[in-house]
Each structure stands twice: as C-alpha cells, then as structure tokens.
Amino acid sequence: MADRLVPFTGVLNFRDLGGYETEDGRHTRWGRLFRSDAMHDLTEEDLEVFRGLGIASVVDLRSVSEVERTGRGLLTHEPLNFVNSPVLTTLQTDESRVDIDEGYMARRYLEYLKMGAPAFVRVFEEMTNAESYPLVFNCFLGKDRTGVVAALVLSCLGVRRSSIVEDYALTAPRVVLIVEKLLRDPLLRGEVAHDNPLLLGAREETMSNFLSEVDQRFGGPIAWALGAGVPGESIERLRDLLLDEG
C-alpha cells in the first residue's frame, strides 16, 4: 500500500496500479495508470506532487452534476485532458428503498455494467490513446465506480484475480479517512453522515462476488467488454500500453 499510495494531503485515495502480475508473468507498468477519489481538494503542495507524476489525462466517472457541485479545484487551470464519462446519470440510487445486505454492493456493481456500459466503453477508448498517459480515473470516494473500472481494466490486462480483489480492498482504510474529511465539510457531509456501513465498505468478498457473477452471466470481464462494444484490438492495445515486456 505504501508503494502505491500517493501521499497527498487533500486527496486520500490516489494510488498507482503498477506492479500487478498477470497470468502470463508480465506486470502492469508503474507510473502509467492511477485511480483516485475526487481531486478538487488538492492543496498547493499536492499540486506540485501531482505535476511531478506527469498526469496527462483525468477521466472523471461522476455525473455532470457531481462535477459541477465540487468543481475541479486547482486542477481547473492545469493543462490536462479532462474527460467526464458518467457511469450514472444521477448521484445515487435511493438506498432507503432497497434491501441493503452483504451482497448489495456486488449487485449494484452489476447494475453499473447495465447503466454505465457506454461510459465504460469510453474509458477504454481513452486508455487506448498513448497520448492520454499517465492517466488517472476517479469518482467520489474512489471506491465503487472507480473500483469497477479498475477491475474491468486489470482483468482485460490479464492481472491475477486475487490481485484485483486485493486492490479493491485497499480502499477500505482510505474511505475511513475520506469520511472523516467529508464530515467536516458542511456542503458534503450529508453524503456520508447517515450511510449504512455496508455502503462505505470495500470488502474483498464484494469484488470477488461481483467478478464471479460477471463470469457466470457474461463469460468474464473480457467477454463483457467485447459485448459492450470494446473492440478486441483495443484490449490488445491496452496490453501494449500498460504491461511490461515480461
């Protein structure tokens, strides 16, 4: 975790997806692909670190209204390729009307695949452009929409399933810190003040169950991506851009 996490002050779940081993013995490249929570709270000092990473593209998975509500903070005037690819058209499902149990989050991620397929395809398209790198993708907490994108992309790269599940779970302690920060924000604390702990968790079982369902329903993440409209050559291109030579 220490190797992956970028130690920002205002952004708490920004980390590198490099170093993961694939089934054929290759590894994801360090310093190319990052995942994050919302980045509008980057401080001046954080911005210097961010610039040092050389980030060329930000892919924001939040809805248009979410982006407008928080703004982009200090990134507003940075020379970045900013892509807003909303997975959901509204902020959240009304969870007060659904049965929230230990399997709820995995079911919700499956709904993302249905509702957000065009957004996911667009993310893949952006990632096939060599000029987009280094690239970071994010949502609000960097857990759910971001977690699904990470799982899909790492799966298409051939990363071991156990590593994908472990990567998802790395978010759990970071969400605790993000929630503490949000509770101090009068504009955003309502987003988390009353949330069921199951909604804020990042348990390995959630990602494992989600991916198992993707296997059963679609034949696996690669088959899902192809069926959603990601060209096969784009997946090969991803591998060329994001994996070492082995």
pLDDT tens-place string over residues 36-65: 999 999 999 999 999 999 999 999 999 999
Q: Which amino acid is at 211?
A: L
Spatial contact of 10 and 43, defined as CB atoms under 8 Å apart: yes
The predicted pLDDT at position 197 comes to 81
pLDDT for residue 97 is more than 80:
no
Among 66, 104, 74, CA closest to 187? 66
Joined tokens for residue 232: 């096969």
Joined tokens for residue 144: 């759910």
pLDDT for residue 94 is more than 80:
no
Q: Considering the domain boundaries, does residue 144 fall inside one?
A: yes
The predicted pLDDT at position 90 comes to 57
Q: Is there a cis peptide before residue 173, judged by omega within 30 degrees of 0?
A: no
Q: Considering the domain boundaries, does residue 238 fall inside one?
A: no
The predicted pLDDT at position 2 comes to 57
Q: Sorting pLDDT into bands at 50, 70 and 90, what band is 193?
A: low
CA angle, 112 as apex, 198 and 12 as ends, to 5°?
A: 55
The predicted pLDDT at position 185 comes to 82
Q: Considering the domain boundaries, does residue 239 fall inside one?
A: no
The predicted pLDDT at position 98 comes to 66
How far is residue 163's CA from residue 27's CA, in Å, rounded to a whole number? 11
Q: Considering the domain boundaries, does residue 51 fall inside one?
A: yes
Q: Considering the domain boundaries, does residue 66 fall inside one?
A: yes
**Alpha-carbon 93 to chain mean position:** 18
pLDDT tens-place string over residues 121-168: 999 999 999 999 999 999 999 999 999 999 999 999 999 999 999 999
Domain span at residue 161 reads 15-21+28-232
Residue 21 Ramachandran class (φ > 0 left, ψ -120 to 50 alpha, else beta): beta
- The CATH number given to whatever domain includes residue 167 is 3.90.190.10
Tell me the pairing of strands 81-84 and 15-16.
Answer: unpaired
In 125-242 the beta strands, taken as DSSP E runs, fall at: 135-138
Q: Considering the domain boundaries, does residue 241 fall inside one?
A: no
CA torsion angle 48 54 60 65 (round to 10)? 40
The predicted pLDDT at position 89 comes to 76
CB atoms within 10 A of CB 67: 17
Spatial contact of 193 and 183, defined as CB atoms under 8 Å apart: yes
CA angle, 27 as apex, 19 and 173 as ends, to 5°?
A: 30
- 26-56 core/surface letters (b: 16 or more CB in 10 A; e: else): bbbbeebbbbbbbbbbbeeebbebbeeeebb
Q: What is the average pLDDT across 116-121?
A: 96
Q: Considering the domain boundaries, does residue 242 fall inside one?
A: no
Q: Considering the domain boundaries, does residue 205 fall inside one?
A: yes
Domains contained in the chain, number: 1
pLDDT for residue 222 is more than 80:
yes
The predicted pLDDT at position 1 comes to 57
